[in-house]
Amino acid sequence: MRTFLVKIKYDGSGFCGWQVQEERRTVQAVFQQTLWDVLKEQVPVRGCSRTDSGVHANEFCISFRTSCAVPCEKLPLALNAKLPPDIAAFDCYPVADDFHARYDCLGKQYRYLILNAPLRDPFWHTRALWYKYPLDEAFLNAQAQDYLGTHDFSAFCSAGSDVTDKVRTVSQCGVRRLTDDPRLVEFTVTADGFLYNMVRIMVGTLLQMSAGKLPSGSIPDIIASRNRERAGATAAACGLYLNKVLY
Q: Is 22 helix (H, G, I), strand (E, B) or coil?
A: coil
What is the total count of domains within the chain?
2
Q: What is the mean pLDDT of the chain?
A: 96
Q: What is the mean pLDDT of residues 18-42?
A: 95
For residue 187, what is the domain's CATH number?
A: 3.30.70.660
CA 218 to chain centre: 25
- Degrees to nearest 5, angle at CA 152 with 151 and 158: 130
Residue 43 sits in the same domain as residue 141: no
Residue 118 sits in the same domain as residue 198: yes
| Domain range for 191 | 107-246
pLDDT of residue 161: 83
Position 13 in a domain: yes
The residues carrying an active-site annotation are 52
Residue 162 has pLDDT above 90, yes or no: no
Position 102 in a domain: no
C-alpha torsion sign, points 18, 163, 170, 229: positive
Residue 150: phi and psi, rounded to 5, are -100, 120
For residue 18, what is the domain's CATH number?
A: 3.30.70.580
pLDDT bucket at 209, cuts 50 / 70 / 90: very high
Which domain-ending residue is among 43, 62, 95? 95
Residue 44 sits in the same domain as residue 114: no
Compute CA distances 179 → 10, 182, 183, 186, whole Å. Answer: 24, 5, 9, 11
pLDDT of residue 41: 94
Residue 217 sits in the same domain as residue 125: yes
pLDDT 10s digits, 74-119: 999 999 999 999 999 999 999 999 999 999 999 999 999 999 999 9
Residue 88 sits in the same domain as residue 118: no
Residue 115 sits in the same domain as residue 138: yes
pLDDT bucket at 160, cuts 50 / 70 / 90: confident
